[in-house]
A and B are shown apart, each in its own frame.
Chain A
Amino acid sequence: MAANDYALEAQHLKKIYRRGSEEILAIDDVSLSVRKGEFVAFVGPSGSGKTTLINLLGCLDNATTGSLRIGARTVFSAERCLSESELTRIRRQVFGYIFQKFYLVPTLTVLENVLLPFAFFRKPEATGDPMEILKFLGIDNRIHHRPAEISGGEMQRVAIARALVNKPEILLADEPTGNLDTKRSEEIGAILKSLNEKEGLTVLLVTHNPGLAKVAHRTVTLRDGKIV
């Protein structure tokens, strides 16, 4: 396939953590490619390295060795590692993130939380009306509420809206339903699927909820830092 068809390509990624005098090999020689518009779920037991891998793929961290290309760009390779500022520039161009703990700013309203990324950076392509995203997620009637006044499911949807507002190419979701009940989890799953199918968003999902993983096109299983 042509290089432009790939959202990202990782080759021989390794990540070593140092804890005191101990060395921990969190990711051990992982190579993988994700096509544009693909929905990939990463599963595996606790400690298998799912989150570490997704952090590398999502440019939240540099690998110890290996290479990563996002679209046509080389993020890191044997020759160079990117600085925090450079990583930030790529992150804001390419990625949107959602996490298990919604991380909303408690003193801002829902609308202000969603618009928060614009305080720092607005992509030229992000010309759409943020209210459309809010309507799509079903929280347009909550825009003046504070996070403390809405439910967990609604908070995660606000976080999703915030992640989408700058028109990312890749959506990274790390255990997005970890704090939600079954019903809400299913709703989130449906939303991710819809975003992937309707908007063509590439989605990388980390979960240990098998029901949620089924929504993806394919599943990547990890154990002890390796793909199995």
Chain B
Amino acid sequence: MKEKISISQVAYKNLLRKKTRSALTILGIGLSAWVLASLLGFNRGYESALSKDIDNMGFQVLVTAKGCPYEAATLMLKGGTGLRYMNESVIADILKHKEVEKVTPMLMQAVFDPNKGESGGISAYLGVDPATYPEMKTFLKFKQGGWFKDASAHEAVLGYEAAELEQREVGDKILVPEKNIEYTVVGIMTRSGTQDDGTIFVPIGTLQKDFGQEGKVTAVGIKVDKKANMTELENKLYDLPDVQVVSMAQVKNTIMSLVSTAKVMVFSIALIAILIAMIGVINTILMSVFERFQEIGIIKSMGAMPKDVFQMIWTETVILCLLGGVLGIGLSFGLAKITDLLIRRLLPYTPTGSLIVVNTQLSLLTLAAVLVIGLVSGIYPAWRASRVRPLESIRSEGD
């Protein structure tokens, strides 16, 4: 037979008194914890998915002509003008550096297509080197066909979206407007969820000849040796005349700093959710304290010091918050897929891969946050309870 009963046991049993009320409070905390865990998971998930996307670019450093690199956006606005080129000889200069493992040249060209959309639009083609480009982007898979082998063949490989738009399949032809040149489609890629989906790839030699840009490139992609110091290489590359060096790491940082504004908003939402939960907890415990005034008085008459009463009420709060926290974490695990779908609907740019990553570390962080909230919320009700004087609460009939 147990000879002892602890304050924690008493606290726990106190919560069982009004089961519905305790359950609802736990649910409220659980929902807030779910929001918090999901938001934290989203933060992490987005960042890692973005990293993966950037890694999937294949090359870590991009060297482009100084002034206006790539400029597809400008192409759409200005209609084909504004591109700047580098001489092919820059490739040899880049290869001189020992940190460079592989390079691949690229040429971007555009024409005005009167058949596109209402009043015409831009058709863009990316010239790539079949000897080096596919190696850098090994994760690109084909739905039909494959890469062209000859660097001067009149062939094209289409991203899935580009193919779907024009209903092209392997064996079909595409027509370059204005120049009336035909390319035969030899490969259609599967959806990759990156900008490659909308790209028309052509052998770089062919594109240079057909568009009169022999010896020119718009960009060189560089795969850096694993052991090399990337910053050092970038600095060396800056010395090349008339080029701009873009590092994917920088791109990622820039995007992340844009995203961090969103992060602030996201955390504000989480904070509001937490405040609401806190108020719920304070209300519940406070109400139960008021309902138990007499009992608390009796407990004091039994010899409970104010700190004992404080501990008892505080323990009740902590139990509620722990249970709510565990519920919330469970929800965030279970509903991660649904939340993922929801977010994809709402955001314009979502990287591939799982957007919400809730792991053990995150769960513990959320639990800790909820616990702290509980401890803080519980202070006032516990203090109020500890101040109850026995006589205030004990009343006797007839005197």
- Bound pair (A, B): yes
Task: Report if A208 contacts B (CB, 8 A).
Answer: yes
Q: Which residues of B contact A (CB under 8 A)?
A: 1-7, 9-10, 13-14, 16-17, 294-295, 298-306, 308, 389-391, 394, 396-399
Question: Are A119 and B398 neighbours in the complex by a CB distance under 8 Å?
Answer: no
Question: Are A84 and B389 neighbours in the complex by a CB distance under 8 Å?
Answer: yes
**Distance of A52 Cα from B398 Cα, bound (Å):** 12
Question: Are B398 and A175 neighbours in the complex by a CB distance under 8 Å?
Answer: yes
Which of chain B's residues have a CB closer than 8 A to the CB of A50?
Answer: 399
Question: Are A162 and B302 neighbours in the complex by a CB distance under 8 Å?
Answer: yes
Which 6 A-B residue pairs are closest in the complex by CB-CB distance?
A92-B303, A51-B399, A120-B304, A107-B13, A121-B303, A117-B302
Task: Report if A130 contacts B (CB, 8 A).
Answer: yes
Question: Are B305 and A118 neighbours in the complex by a CB distance under 8 Å?
Answer: no
Which of chain B's residues have a CB closer than 8 A to the CB of A38?
Answer: none
CB distance from B177 to the nearest CB of A (A): 82
Question: Are A112 and B5 neighbours in the complex by a CB distance under 8 Å?
Answer: yes
- Subset of 18 A-B contacts with CB under 8 Å: A46-B398, A60-B391, A85-B305, A85-B306, A88-B303, A88-B306, A95-B301, A97-B301, A99-B394, A105-B295, A107-B17, A108-B13, A112-B9, A121-B304, A131-B1, A166-B302, A178-B398, A206-B399
A42-63 interface with B by 8 A CB criterion = 46-52, 55, 60-61
Question: Are A115 and B305 neighbours in the complex by a CB distance under 8 Å?
Answer: no
Contact of A117 among B16, B303, B398 (CB under 8 A): B303
Question: Are A115 and B4 neighbours in the complex by a CB distance under 8 Å?
Answer: yes
Task: Report if A226 contacts B (CB, 8 A).
Answer: no
Which of chain A's residues have a CB closer than 8 A to the CB of B300?
Answer: 88
Question: Are A88 and B398 neighbours in the complex by a CB distance under 8 Å?
Answer: no
**Distance of A119 Cα from B16 Cα, bound (Å):** 19
**Distance of A108 Cα from B7 Cα, bound (Å):** 12
Task: Report if A91 contacts B (CB, 8 A).
Answer: yes
Which of chain A's residues have a CB closer than 8 A to the CB of B301?
Answer: 60, 91, 95, 97
Which of chain B's residues have a CB closer than 8 A to the CB of A119?
Answer: 4-7, 9-10, 304, 308
Task: Report if A116 contacts B (CB, 8 A).
Answer: yes
Task: Report if A103 contacts B (CB, 8 A).
Answer: yes
Which of chain B's residues have a CB closer than 8 A to the CB of A106?
Answer: 17
Question: Are A103 and B295 neighbours in the complex by a CB distance under 8 Å?
Answer: yes
Question: Are B397 and A100 neighbours in the complex by a CB distance under 8 Å?
Answer: yes
Which of chain B's residues have a CB closer than 8 A to the CB of A52?
Answer: 399
CB distance from B394 to the nearest CB of A (A): 6
Question: Are B305 and A51 neighbours in the complex by a CB distance under 8 Å?
Answer: no
Which of chain B's residues have a CB closer than 8 A to the CB of A169?
Answer: none
Write the chain B residue with the least CB distance to A95: B301
**Distance of A42 Cα from B37 Cα, bound (Å):** 63
Which of chain A's residues have a CB closer than 8 A to the CB of B16?
Answer: 107
**Distance of A208 Cα from B397 Cα, bound (Å):** 11
**Distance of A130 Cα from B1 Cα, bound (Å):** 10
Which of chain A's residues have a CB closer than 8 A to the CB of B14?
Answer: 105, 107
**Distance of A46 Cα from B396 Cα, bound (Å):** 11
Q: CB-defined interface of A129-163 with B at 8 Å, one 1/0 digit per residue? A: 01100000000000000000000000000000010
Which of chain B's residues have a CB closer than 8 A to the CB of A162?
Answer: 302
CB distance from A155 to the nearest CB of B (A): 13
Which of chain B's residues have a CB closer than 8 A to the CB of A206?
Answer: 396, 399
With A107-B17, A115-B3, A119-B5 as given contacts, are A178 and B397 in contact (CB-CB < 8 Å)?
yes
CB distance from A16 to the nearest CB of B (A): 15
With A116-B5, A174-B396, A175-B396 as given contacts, are A84 and B299 in contact (CB-CB < 8 Å)?
no
**Distance of A112 Cα from B1 Cα, bound (Å):** 11
Contact of A84 among B6, B303, B306, B398 (CB under 8 A): B306
Q: Apart from A60-B394, A119-B6, what 6 extra A-B contacts exist at CB < 8 Å? A: A88-B304, A91-B301, A115-B4, A119-B7, A162-B302, A175-B397
**Distance of A106 Cα from B397 Cα, bound (Å):** 21
**Distance of A68 Cα from B7 Cα, bound (Å):** 33
Question: Are B4 and A118 neighbours in the complex by a CB distance under 8 Å?
Answer: yes
Question: Are B305 and A120 neighbours in the complex by a CB distance under 8 Å?
Answer: yes
Question: Are A100 and B17 neighbours in the complex by a CB distance under 8 Å?
Answer: no
**Distance of A85 Cα from B303 Cα, bound (Å):** 10
Write the chain A residue with the least CB distance to B16: A107
Question: Are B391 and A55 neighbours in the complex by a CB distance under 8 Å?
Answer: yes
Write the chain B residue with the least CB distance to A46: B398
Write the chain A residue with the least CB distance to B394: A99
Question: Are B396 and A120 neighbours in the complex by a CB distance under 8 Å?
Answer: no
**Distance of A27 Cα from B367 Cα, bound (Å):** 55
Best-surrounded residue of A85, A105, A106, A131 (most CB of chain B within 10 A): A105
Question: Are B390 and A60 neighbours in the complex by a CB distance under 8 Å?
Answer: yes
Question: Are B303 and A120 neighbours in the complex by a CB distance under 8 Å?
Answer: yes
Question: Are B295 and A100 neighbours in the complex by a CB distance under 8 Å?
Answer: no
CB distance from B169 to the nearest CB of A (A): 73
Question: Are A108 and B390 neighbours in the complex by a CB distance under 8 Å?
Answer: no
Question: Are A99 and B10 neighbours in the complex by a CB distance under 8 Å?
Answer: no
With A46-B398, A47-B399, A84-B389 as given contacts, are A116 and B17 in contact (CB-CB < 8 Å)?
no
Which of chain B's residues have a CB closer than 8 A to the CB of A175?
Answer: 396-398
Write the chain A residue with the least CB distance to B300: A88
**Distance of A95 Cα from B301 Cα, bound (Å):** 9
Which of chain B's residues have a CB closer than 8 A to the CB of A97?
Answer: 298, 301-302
